[in-house]
Structure 1
C-alpha cells in the first residue's frame, strides 16, 4: 500500500521557485486538462502537417508574442476562479491562478484524436452500490473484462 499527498495550494511555491526564478528562463506546461471553456483549433490528421503547425506556433525560448498571435494573454488578477470563463478570458485562467503564474504566453490546441470514431464509452449498469463491500471486486472484474476485450487499450 502507498499513501501519497501533495499540497492543496502550490501557487506560492511554484511562483517563488519556478516562475520568478532568475535561473529559469522559460517554463513549458503541457496537459490535456489544463484549460477550460473554449476549444482549440482542430489539428490536421496528417502527421507532417501537425508538426508544421506546432513549429509555426511554439517557440522553446522565452515567449515574445504580439496581440495578433494565437497565444492568449492572461489578465493579471482573477477575482473569482470558480466562475466559468467569459469569452475574453483565457481558458487557462483558473489553472494559472492555482499555480501562481501571473505572466507568460499560452496556447490551446485542438486534439489530433478523432474521439467520435475512436472512442467507445460503456457505462456499467449492474454494479453494486459503491458503499457496498462487493463493489470493489465487481468493478475490478468488469474493468478487467474491458481491458481484455480491448487488448489493453481500455
Structure 2
C-alpha cells in the first residue's frame, strides 16, 4: 500500500449474505465512510432484477466503474471507507482492486440454505429470492492470491465485525 493511502474494505458475497449489515456496522464502529454498492446500480439494472432477470457482465460494467470511481474519490479525499459489493466473479474483484493497493477484500461465506431463508424473509428489497440460484451459479470464491479474509456468516453481525477487526485489515 502506498504510504498515506487510506484503507478501503470491500465486503463481498452473495445477496443476503449480510454485506450491507456487516458493512454499515463495521464502518460505524470504525467511524469510516460507508457505501452500499446497490446505490451505484443504474435504474435499468434495478428494474431488470426486480423483474426477476439476472444481470449479465454488460449490465454490471457501469456499476463496477461507478464503485471504482467512488473508491478513487474517497482515497483521494484521504478518507478510509467500507463498501459492500457482491463482486461474485474474480474479474469483478480484480477490476475493483486494479491500481488500488489500499483495497482489502473481505468475503462473507454463506451457504445456500442460510441465505435462502434470509432472502425469503426480507421485505422491501428489489432483489427477489428467486435469483439466488444465479448468484451461486456466478460465484467464484476468492482464490488464495486475492488475500481475502473469508468470514463465515454463521455468527451474529457483531461477532462477524469483531472477527474482521481482529484481523488488523484497517491499518
The two structures have a TM-score, normalised by structure 1, of 0.22
Higher relative contact order (CA 8 A, sep 6+): 2
So what's the TM-score if we normalise by structure 2?
0.20
Larger Rg: 1
- Compare the two structures and name the one with the higher strand fraction: 2
